[in-house]
């Protein structure tokens, strides 16, 4: 098994105990594409994550691989259809980072509504001089409307937090209706357009697909409330960054909280980082000890079970 980065020790121990011969990219630097393809020629299984594009070219050159185990829930970096054609099994780690990612979405919402990141920066810059009754004003979240795009497990965890903390009204748009959310949170299914128009906070939790790529563009931001906050903890490719910057500059929306950007990493001179009502994090949705260990366990288990039984517990189908 080749491990494309230094993954949590739990995964390494599990693979060792199960008798696998493993090689780890101890440098922790992402391996350039062609180099990884060459390395993979000598391995049966690849333990990797979103930083490598497992496209048709990769799969064509590595068709001898039995399994690619993705240390993530998202797998937009993998051409799953091409993998199927080559007979390569793909596994992922769904559910491992549900609470961790929902916490980041919820945190971003609060940080943006109260301009917390910007306020921190004003102190750093020596700009905390005296009290001004009408300065630094944010807004409160109680009773506001949360719109969720993609009401799966993470979207649901965000909706529950917003309902419990601020009694927010929940709207959602999704591929299918979420009965549980409708019954327990009184969530209301609406069209994408209505979601844009009615949400005070719009939180993105869907996968990046051909359908969702660039979905939040100029047209979408214009339809949103001028007081709305846009939150994205899904994938940066779902919003168009230039359009988001324009929407914030033109006050088409009020603020934005991003844990995902396009490209990643974001460059330090990005104009979003200078904006008052913006908070950007370096893709830390799953960065808790608990989530990363569970991701490690699931990803290792996929490889172990594949060679033991021919089946994997967490397949991408």
**Phi and psi torsions of 266, nearest 5°:** -75, 140
**266, 285, 294, 302: residue in contact with ligand 8YV (rule CB under 6 A):** 285
**8, 25, 43, 74: residue in contact with ligand 8YV (rule CB under 6 A):** 74
Asked if 69 and 83 touch (Cβ cutoff 8 Å), the reply is no
Q: Is 153 in the site for ligand 8YV (CB under 6 A)?
A: no
Closer by beta carbon to ligand 8YV, 5 or else 275: 5
Least separation in angstroms between CB 126 and ligand 8YV? 35
Asked if 174 and 150 touch (Cβ cutoff 8 Å), the reply is yes
Q: Which x/- pattern, by CB under 6 A, does the window 21-50 give for ligand 8YV?
A: ----------------------------xx
Taking CA atoms, 17 is separated from 9, 110, 290, 304, 313, in Å, by 12, 44, 21, 10, 18
**3, 54, 62, 73: residue in contact with ligand 8YV (rule CB under 6 A):** 73
Closer by beta carbon to ligand 8YV, 247 or else 260: 260
Phi-psi domain of 283 (left: phi exceeds 0; alpha: psi -120 through 50; beta: other): left
Q: Which stretch binds ligand 8YV (CB under 6 A): 71-79, 80-88, 164-172, 198-206?
A: 71-79
Closest CA to 115 of 279, 227, 282: 279
CA distance 272 to 262: 12
Asked if 158 and 108 touch (Cβ cutoff 8 Å), the reply is no
Does residue 16 carry a catalytic annotation? no
Closer by beta carbon to ligand 8YV, 243 or else 259: 259
Q: Is 286 in the site for ligand 8YV (CB under 6 A)?
A: yes
Least separation in angstroms between CB 63 and ligand 8YV? 24
Q: Is 257 in the site for ligand 8YV (CB under 6 A)?
A: no
Q: Burial, 175: exposed, middle or buried (Cβ in 10 Å; 0-12, 13-18, 19+)?
A: exposed
Q: Which among 114, 161, 283, 292 is annotated as catalytic?
A: 283
CA distance 46 to 71: 10
Q: Which tokens hold the place of 80?
A: 């799953």
Length of the chain: 317
Q: Which residue bears the tokens 């797998």? A: 75
Closer by beta carbon to ligand 8YV, 95 or else 138: 95
Does residue 283 carry a catalytic annotation? yes
Q: Which tokens hold the place of 112?
A: 């943006």
Q: Which among 235, 239, 241, 292 is annotated as catalytic?
A: 235
Does residue 140 carry a catalytic annotation? no
Catalytic residues: 235, 264, 283
Catalog residues that contact ligand 8YV under the rule CB under 6 A. Answer: 49-51, 72-74, 97, 283, 285-286
């Amino acid at each position: 098994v080749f491990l494309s980065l230094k993954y949590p020790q739990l995964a390494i121990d599990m693979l060792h105990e199960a008798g696998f011969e493993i090689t780890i990219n101890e440098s922790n630097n992402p391996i350039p594409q062609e180099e990884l393809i060459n390395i993979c020629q000598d391995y049966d299984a690849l333990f990797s994550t979103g930083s490598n594009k497992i496209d048709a070219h990769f799969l064509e050159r590595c068709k001898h691989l039995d399994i690619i185990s993705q240390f993530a829930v998202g797998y937009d970096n993998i051409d799953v259809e091409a993998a199927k054609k080559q007979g390569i099994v793909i596994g992922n780690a769904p559910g491992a980072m549900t609470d961790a990612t929902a916490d980041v979405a919820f945190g971003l919402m609060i940080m943006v509504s109260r301009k917390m990141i910007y306020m921190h920066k004003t102190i750093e810059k020596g700009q905390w001089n005296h009290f001004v009754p009408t300065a630094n004003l944010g807004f409160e979240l109680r009773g506001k409307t949360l719109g969720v795009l993609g009401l799966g497990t993470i979207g649901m965890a965000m909706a529950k937090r917003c309902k419990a903390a601020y009694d927010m009204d929940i709207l959602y748009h999704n591929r299918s209706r979420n009965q549980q959310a409708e019954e327990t949170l009184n969530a209301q299914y609406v069209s994408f357009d209505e979601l844009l128009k009615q949400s005070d906070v719009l939180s993105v939790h869907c996968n990046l697909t051909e359908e969702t790529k660039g979905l939040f563009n100029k047209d979408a931001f214009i339809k949103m409330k001028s007081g709305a906050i846009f939150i994205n903890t899904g994938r940066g490719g779902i919003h168009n960054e230039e359009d988001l910057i324009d929407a914030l500059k033109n006050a088409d929306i009020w603020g934005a909280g991003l844990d995902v950007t396009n490209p990643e990493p974001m460059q330090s001179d990005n104009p979003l980082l200078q904006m008052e009502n913006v908070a950007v994090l370096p893709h830390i949705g799953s960065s808790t000890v608990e989530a990363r260990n569970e991701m490690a366990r699931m990803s290792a288990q996929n490889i172990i079970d594949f060679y033991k039984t021919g089946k994997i517990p967490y397949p991408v189908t």
